[in-house]
Amino acid sequence: MARERTGDGSNGMAHAGATHYVRQTPIDARAAPAPAGMSLRWRRAFFPSPAMGAVSLSLLVLFTLLGWRALQWAVLNAHWAGASSAACPGDAGACWAFVTARWKPWLVGNYPVAELWRAWTCFGAFALFWAWVVRRSHTASMQRVLLGFVGLPVAFFVLLRGGGPLPVVEPTRWGGLLLTLVVTLATFATALPLGLCLALGRRSLLPVVRWLCGVFVEGMRAVPLLAVLFIAATLVPLFLPKGMNLDLFARAVLAFALFNAAMAAEVFRGGLQSIGRGQREAATTVGLSDFAALRLIVLPQAVTAVVPALVNIMIAVIKETTLLSVIGVNDLLGAVENGARSPDWMGESNILTSGYVFLALAYLTVCYGLSRYSRRLEARR
Amino acid sequence: MTSRGTPETNATVASLVRINKWYGAYHALRDVDLQVASGERVVICGPSGSGKSTLVRTVNLLEPFQQGRLHVCGVDVGADKITRAARLAVNRRVGMVFQQFNLFPHMSVLQNLTVGPVWGRGVSRKEADELAMHYLQRVGLIDHVHKHPAQLSGGQQQRVAIARALCTRPQLVLFDEPTASLDPEMVSEVLQTMESLAREGMTMVVVTHEMGFARRVADRVLFMDQGQIIEAAPPGDFFERPRSPRLRSFLGQVLAHRDPHVDI
């Protein structure tokens, strides 16, 4: 075949100049050459030259040594069971006994044992919700997912706090992972709508609204979260009128909500800006009012565009909840530290270290999972 | 009402009286007077930056103006009273087709066509669906009703945009360079759709560089330069006996190249 084609007098090429070239035989599509095999790709990646090979090998040795030390500490020399610090002598191995013995306060804090079913219900409901989100969150149902994030924490708060037929459990008795979960969700439920309002406010036609929203967002973004938390914990009670009392939990959630609303506002603003003027004009010319255009044309596109960025804010919120322990709220980090201060587990620094490592792994699992999920959302678009 | 020197008849769909518009210090529209009669096809051409697009976008109040008076489909708007309500009222009677299509990418073709009637005009969903199917049939895209805009070619997208404009049952349709961003192969399918629309008596104002279309379809061709209407005539006179030197040189350049995609 190929021979015949080159035989048409022009070597199958359109030459420069005045020659009039016409292809005689059409070229059928051919399969692409096979990709390089696994071994070849590895060799290219790690040993492209002797020097780079040496770097690869020394890094391999380094990581092997570090990995071996970590394995010794975390598994081989670790202490797995026991009810007090006596179970973990020395610091050659991790003290997982600390973790296995105290999992309950770390999960739910001081929540009354008789009412624990409420906490388990919340965990279960969230697990179901999350499974639903991960399984079916193509972009079209994004609004429903966001709705769940707003509705769920309200339901959790009502159930956990009780009232009416249920005995009241004050938030001061909540703690550990439960508190972290509720604070994260409550922050999202308030910060997202507020952030959207702020973003829309910054585009308002009224200069006063635009200015106020701008000052709030820029102000919040310029202050560290820790400062906001301290203000909420110590200064806000002084400003409140006598007789009115917000508990520490509510003030902390408020601080988180306001701070992250400013973050979300910037994200939403980017989303709104990404929708071109043409979309709004087209909405106008088919007879939609400004509000209908916003609701039906601009917001669905803007919100879908920023979902990965919103997941990033969520990851940040989850990690920020550890700051709660600084102002004396018994979150997961606070629960671990309180545990290490209890008479049974006092003494060995290795015990607290083990607690911190466990904590880091727990946060890593949750946040890495969320991050993977966010990547998947991006890939789907 | 002070529509000086331009008596309106019942058959006038749009009437612009001494419209002036500035972008900052730049005088973009200068004393523009224009009447469009019901059923009339007006084509506007001219060099880029001459104010053609600004003019059609003024007709449905996408662009505000600083002086003059606008009377469109029974809505009377003075330069000092351009309100949201006026813009909404005008846009519920006037359709528009854009150069960049501006379809709603998150909606199916059917939703693109029905969102205006349902949420803007209070038409029932069933009725809006029937209307949409009718006009999709008209533009020959009935098979694509459940696709999203990104799955269509440029020419198909622009035909959907035309159907979308028709679904609002407009008394006047504005076209702002509807073929300027299409591949050459797709220009004719859009022009054919527009020509069949013209044959059925739709009132149209079309900004375009397609001189062939202007010749075949227009009742009147307008030439704009530097924000002013320089010359307006029926296509025969316009192309064969241009009077102003500016139009003569413009036609000389456009017709010499005959490439509709050179943005002159």
- Give per-residue pLDDT as tens, A340-359: 888 888 777 788 888 899 99
Q: Give the sign of the dihedral formed by CA A297, CA A302, CA A303, CA A305.
A: positive
Does A13 score more than 70 pLDDT? no
User: What average pLDDT score do residues B205-211 get?
Assistant: 94
Q: Which residue from A minimizes the CA distance to B97?
A: A282
Q: Are residues A281 and B103, on separate chains, in Cβ contact within 8 Å? A: no
Q: Give the sign of the dihedral formed by CA B100, CA B105, CA B107, CA B109.
A: positive
Q: Are residues A288 and B119, on separate chains, in Cβ contact within 8 Å? A: yes
**Set of chain B residues whose Cβ sits within 8 Å of the Cβ of A286:** 91, 95, 115-117, 120, 164-165, 167-168
What tens digit of pLDDT does each residue of A94-115 get? 888 888 888 888 888 888 888 8
Q: In angstroms, rounded to a whole number, what is the distance separating the alpha carbons of residues B102 and B115? A: 14
What tens digit of pLDDT does each residue of B214-250 get? 999 999 999 999 999 999 999 999 999 999 999 999 9
Q: In angstroms, rounded to a whole number, what is the distance separating the alpha carbons of residues B11 and B116? A: 26
DSSP structure string for B81-117: G--HHHHHHHHTTEEEE-TT----TTS-HHHHHHHHH
Q: Are residues A284 and B95, on separate chains, in Cβ contact within 8 Å? A: no
On average, the pLDDT of chain A sits at 85
Q: In angstroms, rounded to a whole number, what is the distance separating the alpha carbons of residues B65 and B56? A: 12
Among the partner-chain residues B84, B100, B120, the one whose CB lies closest to the CB of A287 is B120
Q: In angstroms, rounded to a whole number, what is the distance separating the alpha carbons of residues B65 and B18? A: 11
Among the partner-chain residues B105, B119, B164, the one whose CB lies closest to the CB of A296 is B119
The pLDDT confidence band at residue A147, using thresholds 50, 70 and 90, is confident
Does A9 score more than 50 pLDDT? no
pLDDT for the residue A1: 42
- Provide, rounded to the nearest whole percent, the portion of chain B with pLDDT above 90: 86
Q: Are residues A286 and B105, on separate chains, in Cβ contact within 8 Å? A: no
Helix, strand or coil, per DSSP, at residue B225: strand
pLDDT for the residue B6: 42
User: What average pLDDT score do residues B180-202 get?
Assistant: 93
How do B75-78 and B26-37 pair as beta strands?
A: unpaired
Question: Which residues lie below 8 Å from residue A24, measured CB to CB, with a gap of 6+?
Answer: A5, A8
**Set of chain A residues whose Cβ sits within 8 Å of the Cβ of B88:** 284, 287, 289
The pLDDT confidence band at residue B1, using thresholds 50, 70 and 90, is very low
The pLDDT confidence band at residue A215, using thresholds 50, 70 and 90, is very high
Say how many residues make up chain A: 381
User: What average pLDDT score do residues A127-154 get?
Assistant: 75
Q: Are residues B91 and A286, on separate chains, in Cβ contact within 8 Å? A: yes
Instruction: Kindly state the tokens that stand for A124.
Output: 């279960």
Q: Which residue from A minimizes the CA distance to B93?
A: A287
The pLDDT confidence band at residue A171, using thresholds 50, 70 and 90, is confident
How do B172-176 and B67-72 pair as beta strands?
A: unpaired
The pLDDT confidence band at residue A139, using thresholds 50, 70 and 90, is low
Say how many residues make up chain B: 264
Among the partner-chain residues A281, A286, A290, the one whose CB lies closest to the CB of B62 is A281
Q: Are residues B87 and A284, on separate chains, in Cβ contact within 8 Å? A: yes
What tens digit of pLDDT does each residue of B86-123 get? 999 999 999 999 999 999 999 999 999 999 999 998 99
HSE-CB of A200 using CA atoms within 13 angstroms: 14
Instruction: Kindly state the tokens that stand for A39.
Output: 């071994």
- Provide, rounded to the nearest whole percent, the portion of chain A with pLDDT above 90: 33
What tens digit of pLDDT does each residue of A267-323 get? 999 999 999 899 999 999 999 999 999 999 999 899 888 888 888 898 999 988 889
Q: Are residues B116 and A304, on separate chains, in Cβ contact within 8 Å? A: no
Q: Are residues A289 and B87, on separate chains, in Cβ contact within 8 Å? A: no
Residue type at B55 in one-letter notation: L
Q: Is A25:A4 a contact under the CB 8 Å cutoff?
A: yes
- Residue among A256, A255, A360, A275 nearest A313 (CA): A256
Q: Quick count: other Cβ atoms within 10 Å of Cβ B151?
A: 12
Q: Which residue from B minimizes the CA distance to A281?
A: B62
Q: Are residues A296 and B95, on separate chains, in Cβ contact within 8 Å? A: no
Q: Give the sign of the dihedral formed by CA A197, CA A203, CA A206, CA A210.
A: positive
Instruction: Kindly state the tokens that stand for A122.
Output: 């919340």
Q: In angstroms, rounded to a whole number, what is the distance separating the alpha carbons of residues B104 and A274? A: 14
Residue with tokens 């028709």: B166
The pLDDT confidence band at residue B137, using thresholds 50, 70 and 90, is very high
Among the partner-chain residues A286, A289, A300, the one whose CB lies closest to the CB of B164 is A286
- Residue among B241, B192, B242 nearest B212 (CA): B192
**Set of chain A residues whose Cβ sits within 8 Å of the Cβ of B84:** 289-290
Q: Quick count: other Cβ atoms within 10 Å of Cβ A26?
A: 6
Helix, strand or coil, per DSSP, at residue B175: strand
pLDDT for the residue A238: 80
Interface residue of A205, A206, A285 to substitute, partner B, most B CBs within 10 Å: A285
**Set of chain A residues whose Cβ sits within 8 Å of the Cβ of B115:** 286, 288, 296-297
Residue with tokens 């048409």: A8
pLDDT for the residue B262: 43
Give the C-alpha distances (Å, rounded to integers) separating A337 from A176, B27, B66. 11, 71, 68
- Residue among B44, B22, B21 nearest B32 (CA): B21
Q: In angstroms, rounded to a whole number, what is the distance separating the alpha carbons of residues B87 and B97? A: 17
Strand partners, B233: B221
Q: Which positions in chain A have a beta carbon within 8 angstroms of at least one beta carbon in chain B?
A: 278-279, 281-290, 292, 296-297, 300-301, 304
Q: Are residues B106 and A286, on separate chains, in Cβ contact within 8 Å? A: no
Give the C-alpha distances (Å, rounded to integers) separating A350 from A304, A325, A355, A357. 46, 20, 9, 10
Among the partner-chain residues A278, A285, A290, the one whose CB lies closest to the CB of B84 is A290
Q: Distance (Å) from the C-alpha of residue A309 to the closest C-alpha of chain B? A: 19
Give the C-alpha distances (Å, rounded to integers) separating B32 from A203, B15, B35, B81. 33, 10, 10, 18
Q: Is A373:A134 a contact under the CB 8 Å cutoff?
A: yes
- Residue among A315, A324, A277 nearest A298 (CA): A277
Higher pLDDT, A89 or A191: A191
